[in-house]
Amino acid sequence: MTMHEDAQRLQGDLVRLRRELHQTPEVGLDLPRTQAIVLRELEGLPLEVTTGTTTTSVVAVLRGGRPGPTVLLRGDMDGLPVDEATGLEYAATTGTMHACGHDLHIAGLVGAARLLCARQEELPGNVVFMFQPGEEGYGGAKYMLDEGLLMASGEKPVAAYAIHVFPGVPGQFELRSGSTMAGSNRLEITVVGRGGHGSQPHTAVDPVTALLGIGSQLHAMITRRFSVFDPVVLTITQLAAGEAVNVIPERASLGATVRTLSHESLERVQEESRSLAEGIAAAHGCTAEVEFVVQYPVTVNDEAEAQWAGEQLRAAFGAERVVDAADPLMGSEDFSFVLEQVPGAMIFLHTSPPGVDPETAAMNHSSTVLFDDAVLGDQAAALALLAQQRLEREVGAAGDGGAGGP
């Protein structure tokens, strides 16, 4: 029986698992309920399972029956602080929501583990299953790396793969080589002036006016100083100043998210935003305190691994179901930390339910986003297939080279 056929037999179990997870999402690095469900689902499988010491991560190692290298598969587990408004009968009512599809990621990775465990004896090498908390801004992957994730099998993986769900044409895989998702950074600027009475601004040094100037010019800076072919996205999402309407405050601040696709643009946007803020603040007689925090690096798909993964998916699912992504996404992913150290690929899987127009579907992080769990069998099969085929490829290449043949 093929991997795809076996995966379809798991479909019902994976849907039930996904919907159980969907009802009780947890946020951040501490996901005890989610971790307990994952451990329950892995129980009885021939896996070496360990849990994190600084987070509620789960790492499971499958050792194949034949010698060979290691491949890593990843699924993230955390939800978001979003009140769900989908109207689903299994919707979360906890004030949190799996609004980015991580419940599908967990179920899909559990499915891949089951598929590969059933083929343990024929596997030429090891598979590491990475169940990760804290992807949504908490850097959970980095915690796992610091705890030794990449040596879980005793050797560093030769490749790493992850599948991320998005609304779109159901069942369609999408991937690209190179920069695939943007790096994520946080910019915070506080302007310090001298407070006073709102009726007498000439006796104060107003930080609010300076901050407004900085905010408007930050957007102009992006459009005028950065190439559209190496884009930067800067969005101001926070503003704070005084509490009383008749008081000029001493301090005013803003927060912004900054997305970049190259090291060069990252370096420049740090320098330019600091220079701009300090200059405008000084022109208003104020000072500026600028903090630029690099959060997630750019998610970069290895060219050879992405091309190979696309070939495997086309062979398994049909060429019509696999498309090349024309452009990177400006969202961010902390699988980027893994791909900095291991060649691999982040693959997208579109999952809009029947009756939802993919062109107008609510996007990830929306309170109304919908994901069709009918894709779970294919998601599990794709992950398992990539792991098995990559091990076979590595062992075959080593065998050819070791024999000294042509």
Give pLDDT tens digits for 60-107: 999 999 999 999 999 999 999 999 999 999 999 999 999 999 999 999
45 and 142 housed in the same domain? yes
Q: CB within 8 A of 376, min separation 6: which ones?
A: 10, 11, 14, 15, 18, 104, 107, 108, 111
314 and 213 housed in the same domain? no
258 and 137 housed in the same domain? no
- Tell me the mean pLDDT in the region 126-149: 97
The CA distance from 10 to 3, in Å, is: 11
The CA distance from 108 to 375, in Å, is: 9
The CA distance from 57 to 66, in Å, is: 28
Q: Number of folded domains in the chain? A: 2
The CA distance from 25 to 342, in Å, is: 29
pLDDT of residue 394: 82
Domain boundary among 262, 296, 330: 296
115 and 243 housed in the same domain? no
Range of the domain at 272: 183-296
Q: CB within 8 A of 292, min separation 6: which ones?
A: 185, 186, 187, 188, 258, 270, 273, 274
385 and 333 housed in the same domain? yes
- Asked whether 299 and 336 are in contact (CB, 8 A), the reply is yes
pTM confidence score: 0.91
199 and 305 housed in the same domain? no
Give pLDDT tens digits for 295-332: 999 999 999 999 999 999 999 999 999 999 989 999 99
Q: CB within 8 A of 214, min separation 6: which ones?
A: 189, 191, 254, 276, 277, 280, 281, 288
The CA distance from 100 to 168, in Å, is: 14
104 and 19 housed in the same domain? yes
pLDDT of residue 397: 67
- Return the exposure string of 123-133: e unless at least 16 CB atoms fall within 10 Å of the residue's CB, then b: bbbbbbbbbbb
382 and 304 housed in the same domain? yes
Give pLDDT tens digits for 353-379: 999 999 999 999 999 999 999 999 999
Q: Tell me, what CATH number does 260's domain have?
A: 3.30.70.360
280 and 304 housed in the same domain? no
Burial class (CB in 10 A: 0-12, 13-18, 19+), 308: middle
The CA distance from 34 to 21, in Å, is: 7
Give pLDDT tens digits for 190-210: 999 999 999 999 999 999 999
Q: Tell me, what CATH number does 67's domain have?
A: 3.40.630.10
Burial class (CB in 10 A: 0-12, 13-18, 19+), 343: middle
191 and 177 housed in the same domain? no
pLDDT of residue 2: 81
- Asked whether 147 and 353 are in contact (CB, 8 A), the reply is no
3-state SS of 260-327 is: ECCHHHHHHHHHHHHHHHHHHHHHCCCEEEEEEEEEECCEEECHHHHHHHHHHHHHHHCHHHEEECCC
- Asked whether 258 and 185 are in contact (CB, 8 A), the reply is yes
Residue 112 per-residue DSSP state = H
22 and 151 housed in the same domain? yes
- Is residue 400 very low, low, confident or very high in pLDDT (cuts 50, 70, 90)? low
- Tell me the mean pLDDT in the region 394-402: 64
- Asked whether 193 and 202 are in contact (CB, 8 A), the reply is no
- Tell me the mean pLDDT in the region 327-339: 94
Number of helical (H) and strand (E) elements in the chain, helices listed first? 9, 16
Domain boundary among 296, 320, 335: 296
pLDDT of residue 395: 77
193 and 95 housed in the same domain? no
- Asked whether 72 and 342 are in contact (CB, 8 A), the reply is yes
Please state, rounded to an integer, the average pLDDT across all residues of the chain.
94
Domain boundary among 240, 273, 296: 296
- Is residue 8 very low, low, confident or very high in pLDDT (cuts 50, 70, 90)? confident
